[in-house]
């Protein structure tokens, strides 16, 4: 058991997450980037509902579910993204593969503990334009915010539990802007780097009730008070010899470093309420509403005239179906079939147009023979943004895979 714990700890914290570029969205320029984490792949396959949890699947959105597990569970998920970005005049394609989460949950009789690593948001864009006065501009960005968390929950009764987790947010965001003037020999390159750090926490509760000994009613609530990120900023300006997009940037002379004041950015307050109903281990359907006070957001350095932030709301609906989880002869009958839909007002407003995100999801849970572990697959097809108001629409397909390794760690052996 101790050996397994050390191996999982090494896997959890020995990975380099700064190198990830988990998005190619131009909308990731704003705020802290594109918020990627929307729950485990199992929950995302059901439209991103946060209210569902069982005894073998990790729920990372509501810490009250940690004590609901009956087996120690190590879960890891990753997503491949293929997308097309379309404006009124042109389009481009992009592909990304990125880690979604690493998490370990250790339950005891009434208490559950969990810790893990979650790449929370990503910055990743590369856009350019030629203005009417023949100025070529290129903007690019990379990096993001990651979080390490530790949480615990307590089952007050078999049907009711509460939980909380604390999260340390950290990361690096680098943005670059190049301006080339037609009548000037050299271009200018400005690089801004922000090192982010901060702490916030979640508190959650869950309640379930068995009806007629086979139907299950459940509800959940999660509250995250608004946190704060401290941004340590640095700016460098350099003259470069540059022939245009995709060419080598050769510095001319030494770069000039500018002193940029450190800044603070508010993380939005979040409230999530969910409800569901189903037949235990056969089918279930649930719904969620998630509210975030993203109107407190801002740009990392200064205010951009055509960009505002408003309150964000997300609606999720989804569920699962298992034909016969007790079947020994028919493997297909033991597969978990999941589906859902979600619609979100992201809280970002550009050119007086609210940016929305809508997706349809489906997925499958494949039990691994002879164990309580499982392999989960997600398919998510959606669209974000609009081509009106001189903006762009993103059409995307996400294919995700997760492994959940479940085992009994704290079982007293009768024989060695």
- Alpha-carbon distance of 128 to 326, in angstroms, equals 57
64: phi then psi, degrees, rounded to nearest 5: -65, -15
386: phi then psi, degrees, rounded to nearest 5: -150, 155
Q: What tens digit of pLDDT does each residue of 49-92 get?
A: 988 777 788 899 999 999 988 889 999 999 999 988 887 777 78
Element (H, E) at 44: helix 41-44
Which stretches of 242-304 are assigned E, i.e. beta strand? Answer: 250-258, 263-266, 270-279, 283-292
Residue 8 is predicted with a pLDDT of: 40
On whether the CB atoms of residues 150 and 165 are closer than 8 A, the answer is yes
The distance in angstroms from the start CA to the end CA of the chain is 14
200-228 mean pLDDT: 92
Q: Is the pLDDT of residue 96 over 90?
A: no
Pick left, alpha or beta for residue 185 (phi over 0 → left; psi -120 to 50 → alpha; otherwise beta).
alpha
For residues 173, 402, 116 and 39, what is the CA-based torsion angle, rounded to 10 degrees? 70
Residue 12 is predicted with a pLDDT of: 39
Residue 409 is predicted with a pLDDT of: 63
350-358 mean pLDDT: 90
Q: What tens digit of pLDDT does each residue of 277-326 get?
A: 999 889 999 999 999 887 666 555 545 667 888 889 999 999 999 999 88
Q: Which residues of 375-384 are buried (b: 16+ CB within 10 A; e: fewer)?
A: ebbbbbebbb
Q: From the CB of residue 297, how many other CB atoms can be counted at a distance below 10 Å?
A: 21
On whether the CB atoms of residues 136 and 44 are closer than 8 A, the answer is no
- Alpha-carbon distance of 339 to 320, in angstroms, equals 7
- Alpha-carbon distance of 362 to 276, in angstroms, equals 18
Q: What tens digit of pLDDT does each residue of 230-285 get?
A: 989 999 999 998 887 778 888 888 888 888 888 888 888 999 999 999 998 899 99
Q: 326: exposed, middle or buried (C-beta count within 10 Å: 0-12, 13-18, 19+)? A: exposed
Residue 51 is predicted with a pLDDT of: 80
With vertex at residue 312, the alpha carbon angle to CA 307 and CA 317, rounded to the nearest 5 degrees, is: 140
Q: Which pTM value belongs to this model?
A: 0.86
Residue 9 is predicted with a pLDDT of: 39
| Tokens 């997450």 -> residue | 17
Q: Which residue has the higher pLDDT, 98 or 5?
A: 98
Q: What tens digit of pLDDT does each residue of 150-175 get?
A: 999 999 999 999 999 999 999 999 98
On whether the CB atoms of residues 202 and 60 are closer than 8 A, the answer is no
Q: What tens digit of pLDDT does each residue of 362-402 get?
A: 999 999 987 889 999 999 999 998 888 888 899 999 999 99
Give the residues across from 140 on adjacent strands.
126, 176
- Alpha-carbon distance of 12 to 15, in angstroms, equals 7
Tokens for 26, please give them.
Answer: 């131009």
Task: Give the chain's mean pLDDT.
Answer: 85
Report the range of poorest mean pLDDT among 23-37, 104-118, 261-275, 296-310: 296-310
Tokens for 100, please give them.
Answer: 């979604």
Residue 264 is predicted with a pLDDT of: 85
Would you place residue 7 in the very low, low, confident or very high pLDDT band (cuts 50, 70, 90)?
very low
Would you place residue 4 in the very low, low, confident or very high pLDDT band (cuts 50, 70, 90)?
very low
Closest CA to 26 of 306, 302, 392, 359: 392
Closest CA to 136 of 21, 249, 24, 305: 249
């Amino acid at each position: 058991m101790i050996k397994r714990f050390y191996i999982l700890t090494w896997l959890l914290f020995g990975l380099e997450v700064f190198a990830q570029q988990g998005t190619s969205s131009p909308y990731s320029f704003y705020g802290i980037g594109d918020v990627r984490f929307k729950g485990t792949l199992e929950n995302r396959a059901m439209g991103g509902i946060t209210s569902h949890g069982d005894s073998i699947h990790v729920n990372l959105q509501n810490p009250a579910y940690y004590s609901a597990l009956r087996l120690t569970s190590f879960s890891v998920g990753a997503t491949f993204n293929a997308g097309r970005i379309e404006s009124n005049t042109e389009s481009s394609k992009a592909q990304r593969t990125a880690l979604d989460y690493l998490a370990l949950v250790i339950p005891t009789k009434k208490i559950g503990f969990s810790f893990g690593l979650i790449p929370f948001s990503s910055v990743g864009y590369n856009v350019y334009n030629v203005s009417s006065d023949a100025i070529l501009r290129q903007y690019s960005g990379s990096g993001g915010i990651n979080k390490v968390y530790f949480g615990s929950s307590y089952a007050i009764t078999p049907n009711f539990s509460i939980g909380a987790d604390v999260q340390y947010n950290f990361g690096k965001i680098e943005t670059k802007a190049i301006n080339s003037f037609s009548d000037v020999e050299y271009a200018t390159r400005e690089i801004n780097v922000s090192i982010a750090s901060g702490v916030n926490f979640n508190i959650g509760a869950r309640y379930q009730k068995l009806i007629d000994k086979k139907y299950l009613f459940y509800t959940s609530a999660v509250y995250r008070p608004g946190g704060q990120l401290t941004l340590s900023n640095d700016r460098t300006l350099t003259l470069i010899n540059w022939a245009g997009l995709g060419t080598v940037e050769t510095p001319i002379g030494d770069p000039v470093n500018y002193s940029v004041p450190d800044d603070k950015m508010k993380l939005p307050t979040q409230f999530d309420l969910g409800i569901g109903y189903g037949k235990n281990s056969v089918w279930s359907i649930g719904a969620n509403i998630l509210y975030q006070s993203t109107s407190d957001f801002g740009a990392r350095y200064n205010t951009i005239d055509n960009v505002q932030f408003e309150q964000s709301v997300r609606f999720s609906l989804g569920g699962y179906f298992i034909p016969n989880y007790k079947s020994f002869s028919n493997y297909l009958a033991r597969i978990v079939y999941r589906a859902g839909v979600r619609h979100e007002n992201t809280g970002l407003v550009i050119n007086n147009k609210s940016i929305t995100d809508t997706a349809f999801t489906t997925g499958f849970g494949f039990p691994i023979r002879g164990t309580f572990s499982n392999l989960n697959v997600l398919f998510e097809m959606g669209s974000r943004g609009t081509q009106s108001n001189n903006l762009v629409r993103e059409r995307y397909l996400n294919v995700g895979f997760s492994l959940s390794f479940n085992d009994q760690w704290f079982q007293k052996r009768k024989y060695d």
